[in-house]
Structure 1
């Protein structure tokens, strides 16, 4: 991991088309601005972790799997 120090209104360039700028500093919070192409996905890590956990919970739930199996069986009966 590369660690850099930046002051308010200073930026970091990543590649040719991503710029990260320190917008504001206050207490324990730092606001950053990210200028990147629309095709670059940007996510907060805590949200990604929460979504991953929800996906794991959903897949591991027997009732969801059983419900899905029932739906598939119902579709197969309709097609025959």
Structure 2
């Protein structure tokens, strides 16, 4: 991890086409401006983690749910 000290208005470059600008520094946080190509996703990590957890929870099936789905199927045919 690279750790930098920056002042308001200063920028840093990531690669050739991503620019991060320090917009404001307060006692409770820092405001950043990120200029990146549309092809690069820029997301907050906590949002991605919440979406991932929600997706995992949505795919988890309880035994009761599986049994209810099995009851919807017609009984197997015997020859």
Query: TM-score interval w.r.t. the shorter chain?
Result: 0.7 to 0.9
5+ unaligned residues in a row in structure 2: which ranges?
74-79
- Deviation above 4 Å: which 4+ runs of structure 1? none
The alpha-carbon deviation at position 26 of structure 1 amounts to 1.1
- Aligned to 1:42, the other structure's residue is in SS state coil
Aligned counterparts of 1:23 and 1:50: Cα–Cα separation in 2: 27
1:7 is aligned to 2:7: yes
Structure 2 counterpart of 1:47? 47
Considering only aligned residues, what root-mean-square deviation do their CA atoms show, in Å?
2.1
Q: Rg: which structure is higher?
A: 2
Q: How does 1:39-78 map to 2 (within 5 A)?
A: 39-62=39-62, 66=66
5+ unaligned residues in a row in structure 1: which ranges?
74-80
Deviations 1:29-66 (A, max 9, x none): 10000000011100000000100100110111338x74
Normalization by structure 1: what TM-score? 0.75
The alpha-carbon deviation at position 25 of structure 1 amounts to 0.8
